[in-house]
Amino acid sequence: MRHPEENRQSTTPFGFLVLDKPAGLTSHHCVSRVRRAYGLKRVGHGGTLDPAVTGVLPIALGPATRLLPYLSGDKAYRGVVQLGLTTSSDDLDGEVLQRSPLPQGLQAEMVETALAAFRGPILQVPPQVSAVHVDGVRAYQRARRGESMDLAARPVTVHRLTLLAYDPTTGQLELEVQCSAGTYIRALARDLGTALGTGGALASLRRTMALGFELNGAVPWDALDPQALAQGAPLPGLRSPLAALSHLPQQQLGDGERDGWRCGRQLQAQLAWPPGTAVVITTPAGALAGVANAGEDGTLQPKLVLDAAG
């Protein structure tokens, strides 16, 4: 006999749609189309993409929206940096503030040497046009009013930074970046240009990984075309919530523990996890039941219960 939660999950969209976002659309626009396509109000995205940026946009449907805080925060990108200019937004959409000639003899080896300073834990000043709050107002809103802000540097981590190509005739270079949440590739382009003495701005960017989801197998935008769906085209399948949480440890409920879990009672941990560790809890049948936090006394305290009683 199936548990009510498992029956609900089988009939209600519950999972992640990994969209390959095209240029020119906001993340909110993408969420709106997914809502209409699946006939579902409870939809949210993980990791906003600027309209000009393409690539991986994970979208959570149904109860999966509650899982977004537990997904891996690392992201990966491929981007093109234009040396020789600085802009108000640190990309080519902003006002050009300064143009500089490229130094004679600037070669790939010199670029590679400059990149070394941006690997690992670094302090990064966000772009003026960013979503950072300044006195309760988004920085990009204040920038649009013509304000110039002294934004504080924030710690971020660049796990991998690879020079893929460099063209000394155009001053363009292509980078591959894997980084922690909160890292701005536009700021990286700006700071690399400063380090090289040329100025720099982001010319294009494509996200290849976010929240543990990669570009391989992402759903193209036209798979959600309203006209095609109205004519009977199938909806794209969703990624499993359990698969999205595969980076976390798991513990399965015993037959006598399910009712207590649904009432918010703590569990006894089967393994010794460090306090604060998020642990995925599954039903005896292997379905997702929620997420608990490991305590200091060998217990698991429910933090997210998908089928709470009462």
Q: Could you read off the pLDDT of 117-154 as tens digits, one per residue?
A: 999 999 999 987 655 555 565 555 655 656 666 788 99
Q: Which of 50, 74, 90, 307 is catalytic?
A: 50
| pLDDT tens per residue across span 147-194 | 666 788 999 999 999 999 999 999 999 999 999 999 999 999 999 999
Positions of CATH 2.30.130.10 in the chain = 248-305
pLDDT at site 11: 72
Stretch 66-84: mean pLDDT? 96
- The CATH number of 4-71+212-240, from 3.30.230.10, 3.40.50.300, 1.10.3210.10, 3.30.2350.10, is 3.30.2350.10
CATH class (in words) of the domain with range 248-305 = mainly beta
pLDDT at site 217: 86
- The torsion angles phi and psi of 176, rounded to 5 degrees, stand at -115, 130
How many angstroms separate the CA atoms of 198 and 184, rounded? 19
- Is residue 191 among the annotated active site residues? no
- The torsion angles phi and psi of 16, rounded to 5 degrees, stand at -125, 130
pLDDT at site 227: 96
pLDDT at site 128: 74
Closest CA to 21 of 66, 46, 58: 58
3-state secondary structure of 57: strand
Positions of CATH 3.30.2350.10 in the chain = 4-71+212-240, 75-210
pLDDT band at 2 (very low <50, low <70, confident <90, very high): very low
How many angstroms separate the CA atoms of 176 and 79, rounded? 7
DSSP string for residues in 76-130: EEEEEEEESEEESSSBTTSPEEEE-PPPTT--HHHHHHHHGGGSEEEEEPPPSSS
CATH 3.30.2350.10 fits 75-210, yes or no: yes
